[in-house]
């Protein structure tokens, strides 16, 4: 305890030095105006965050501390909380808000919002499942090494090996946190365990862990990167031999420790599916909904919005059924689109290759029409690739990974081709617009490339804003003539319906005590999605309480604000300018986004 207190005190001293003496110029130059002073504070805090995080540096493409991981210990968590409290106190005490320019006031508001949210939610830091079927150290570590640890020389390769050797300490600290959750009764439901155990076993399968002609996931990645280097053959062989040794000595026992832990914990698997069963579970869920939607909506209100949207979208789907002269009811049509082979790619390597190629074509075609909708476009490139084999069985059907801020790594639109029935042709357009362009890629890449904003505003995340924009981006292309095929337009509606059902099922499970089976039944009765898709979604609700509510709530607000601006501005309304308001202030909570739109409307009218 004395050591911990000493570290916290030292952290405060260092933080004070950073804040009060950010660099020599701060002392030598005449007094800064209040906005410059605040922005210098924001920049120093961000740089401090970068300096303390090897993993953040890796995501930014910065090759420093490349042989290390972040400190995921309990002690580090406590120190981080005290640091946040100290930063917030300094900002409120030393910055005169009324003297700030408008953009810096927005930065101040966002910094305070984030800090206060972090502090208030700290008491719920164990109210989650850090190892699950969608993410966790067991899959995040290899994904980061494969996708973000570039190997351009022998030192990079040695750093890769160093990271491999430090995996055991990450897992050791993680198990400490898992035990705290266990003592609180926060244990995953039974369905989670096979996914975790399988993913861990996948990581220690094949060479060098067992006699095989196939390299394991990490040895394969490391070997390919080393063989591509312009170094002597014997140096390549030495590095690969060292990696093999490290995988056996450090990585195998680390993953085995997780397998053993979860095989034992499985005997205590939770028999309930909602966070209402957690200690203080209802208040935790309310806190999650507030954080995720950035609104004051209650679980009941969100549930009812979902029911209303499901009804509306069903009605629009019936119009498409009439258009294509389908005979039967909506459930009959769902069965039809799920069983017509023409609406799916072949379940083969050729079919998977064709899907990825066609997804790329959709993204490329959308790029050609961006000038109709946007003044501001990203410089960062985007690529389309399938989810890696080691995690495709448990990963979602599609997702996006942001580009490196220095342009060294493009944005990635991942497609999961493990189950070809889960990614029908009729949903391809909407999925590509959501994850790629004009969805996550434009929103995230533009944010990272903004000039004149504090760095923390380029990397924040608000689910309702980010996912709300992506869902809005599924709808937006229809307004300029895309979705010409009625089946694709049905696919767009099917994906919007999917997000509307999320409002119903998430609140159903976590507020109204629905079971996993009740959630599956609701999706199966109301959507055309494949059974595998439905099961994955309900299981995602269970392990990520509230997260899935942000999409539809965000989309509704972005559309609502757009129509408000269109009504008030009349002929002065320009959709490209509206999109600039949404995208060029960085990522915003919905309540703050609304204020920015109102300011823009006022300026246009005056």
Q: pLDDT tens, 272-302?
A: 999 999 999 999 999 999 999 999 999 999 9
**How many other C-beta atoms are found inside a 10 Å radius of the C-beta of residue 342?**
6
Q: Give residue-wise pLDDT tens across range 565-576.
A: 999 999 999 999
Q: Is the pLDDT of residue 15 over 70?
A: no
Last residue of a domain, one of 240, 268, 296: 268
Last residue of a domain, one of 268, 302, 321: 268
578 found inside a domain: no
pLDDT of residue 303: 98
Q: How many domains does the chain have?
A: 3
| Burial category of 376 from C-beta neighbours within 10 Å (exposed 0-12, middle 13-18, buried 19 and up) | middle
281 found inside a domain: no
Q: How far is the C-alpha of 184 from the C-alpha of 279, rounded, in Å? A: 7
Q: Are residues 396 and 439 in the same domain?
A: yes
Across residues 123-145, what is the average pLDDT? 96
Q: Are residues 11 and 76 in the same domain?
A: yes
Q: Is the pLDDT of residue 30 over 50?
A: no
Q: Is the pLDDT of residue 356 over 60?
A: yes
Tokens of 575: 């959709």
Across residues 530-550, what is the average pLDDT? 94
Split at pLDDT 50, 70, 90, the class of 27 is very low
Q: Are residues 388 and 428 in the same domain?
A: yes
pLDDT of residue 407: 82
C-alpha dihedral over 476, 477, 479, 481, to 10 degrees? 180
Q: Are residues 119 and 143 in the same domain?
A: no
Q: Are residues 176 and 85 in the same domain?
A: no
Q: Are residues 229 and 327 in the same domain?
A: no
pLDDT of residue 585: 93
Q: Is residue 93 a contact partner of residue 108, using CB atoms and an 8 Å limit?
A: no
Q: Is the pLDDT of residue 8 over 80?
A: no
Q: Are residues 214 and 342 in the same domain?
A: no
Q: Are residues 292 and 145 in the same domain?
A: no
Q: How far is the C-alpha of 377 from the C-alpha of 283, rounded, in Å? A: 41
Q: Give residue-wise pLDDT tens across range 378-392.
A: 999 999 999 988 788
Tell me the DSSP string of 78-129: HHHHHHHHHHHHHHHHH--GGGS-HHHHHHHHHHHHHHHHHHHHGGGTTSS-
Closest Cα to residue 170, out of 142, 148, 201? 142
Split at pLDDT 50, 70, 90, the class of 28 is very low
Q: Are residues 167 and 118 in the same domain?
A: no
pLDDT of residue 389: 86
Last residue of a domain, one of 124, 147, 166: 124
Split at pLDDT 50, 70, 90, the class of 405 is confident
Q: Are residues 118 and 178 in the same domain?
A: no
Across residues 115-143, what is the average pLDDT? 96
Closest Cα to residue 200, out of 250, 255, 253? 255
How high is the mean pLDDT of the chain?
93
Percent of the chain with pLDDT over 90: 88
Supply φ then ψ for residue 191, to 5 degrees: -65, -20
370 found inside a domain: yes
Tell me the DSSP string of 326-361: --S-HHHHHHHHHH-GGGS--SSHHHHHHHHHHHHH
Q: How far is the C-alpha of 490 from the C-alpha of 426, rounded, in Å? A: 7
Contacting residues for 574 by C-beta, under 8 A, at least 6 apart: none
365 found inside a domain: yes
183 found inside a domain: yes
Q: Are residues 342 and 435 in the same domain?
A: yes
573 found inside a domain: no
The residue range of the domain holding 379 is 286-553
Q: Are residues 114 and 90 in the same domain?
A: yes
pLDDT of residue 31: 54
């Amino acid at each position: 305890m004395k050591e911990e207190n000493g570290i916290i005190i030292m952290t405060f001293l260092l933080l004070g030095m950073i804040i009060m003496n950010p660099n020599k110029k701060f002392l030598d130059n005449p007094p800064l105006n209040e906005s410059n002073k605040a922005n210098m504070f924001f920049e120093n805090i961000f740089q401090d965050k970068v300096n303390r995080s090897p993993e953040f540096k890796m995501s930014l493409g910065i090759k420093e501390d490349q042989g290390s991981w972040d400190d995921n210990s309990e002690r580090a968590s406590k120190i981080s909380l005290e640091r946040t409290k100290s930063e917030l106190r300094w900002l409120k005490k030393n910055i005169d808000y009324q003297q700030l320019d408008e953009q810096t006031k927005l930065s101040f508001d966002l910094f305070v919002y984030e800090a206060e949210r972090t502090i208030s939610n700290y008491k719920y830091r164990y109210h989650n499942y850090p190892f699950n079927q969608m993410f966790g150290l067991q899959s995040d570590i290899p994904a980061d090494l494969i996708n973000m640890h570039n190997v351009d020389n022998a030192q990079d390769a040695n750093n890769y090996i160093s990271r491999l050797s430090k995996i055991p300490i990450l897992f050791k600290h993680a198990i400490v946190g898992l035990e705290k959750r266990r003592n609180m009764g926060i244990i995953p439901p039974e369905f989670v365990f096979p996914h975790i155990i399988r993913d861990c076993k996948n990581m220690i399968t094949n060479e060098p862990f067992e006699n095989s002609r196939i390299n394991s996931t990490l040895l394969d990645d490391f070997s390919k990167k080393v063989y591509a280097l312009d170094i002597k053959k014997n140096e390549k062989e030495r590095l690969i031999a060292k990696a093999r040794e490290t995988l056996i000595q450090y990585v195998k026992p680390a993953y085995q420790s997780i397998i053993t832990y979860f095989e034992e914990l499985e005997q205590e698997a939770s028999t309930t599916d909602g966070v209402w069963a957690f200690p203080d579970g209802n208040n935790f869920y309310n806190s999650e909904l507030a954080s995720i939607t950035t609104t004051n909506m209650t679980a009941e209100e969100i549930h009812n919005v979902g029911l209303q949207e499901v009804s509306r979208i069903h009605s629009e789907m019936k119009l498409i059924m009439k258009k294509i002269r389908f005979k039967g009811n909506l459930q009959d049509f769902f069965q039809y689109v799920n069983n017509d082979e023409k609406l799916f790619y072949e379940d083969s390597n050729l079919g998977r290759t064709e899907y990825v190629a066609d997804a790329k074509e959709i993204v490329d075609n959308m790029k050609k029409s961006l000038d109709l909708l946007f003044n501001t476009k990203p410089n960062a490139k985007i690529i389309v690739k399938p989810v890696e084999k080691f995690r495709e069985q448990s990963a979602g059907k599609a997702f996006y990974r942001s580009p490196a801020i220095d342009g060294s790594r493009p944005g990635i639109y991942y497609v999961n081709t493990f189950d070809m029935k889960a990614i029908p042709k009729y949903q391809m357009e909407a999925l590509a617009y959501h994850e790629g362009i004009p969805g996550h890629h434009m929103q995230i890449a533009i944010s990272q490339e903004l000039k004149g904003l504090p760095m923390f505003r380029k990397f924040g995340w608000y689910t309702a804003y980010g996912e709300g924009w992506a869902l809005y981006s599924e709808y937006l292309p229809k307004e300029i003539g895309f979705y010409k095929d009625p089946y694709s337009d049905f696919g767009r509606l099917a994906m919007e319906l999917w997000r509307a059902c999320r409002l119903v099922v998430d609140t159903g499970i976590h507020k109204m005590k629905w079971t996993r089976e009740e959630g599956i039944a609701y999706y199966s009765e109301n959507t055309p999605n494949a059974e595998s898709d439905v099961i994955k979604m309900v299981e995602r609700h269970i392990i990520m309480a509230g997260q899935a509510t942000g999409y539809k709530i965000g989309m509704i607000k972005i559309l609502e604000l757009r129509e408000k601006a269109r009504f008030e501005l009349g002929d002065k309304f320009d959709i490209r300018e509206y999109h600039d308001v949404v995208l060029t202030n960085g990522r915003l909570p919905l309540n703050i986004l609304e204020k920015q739109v109102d300011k823009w409307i006022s300026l246009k009218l005056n």
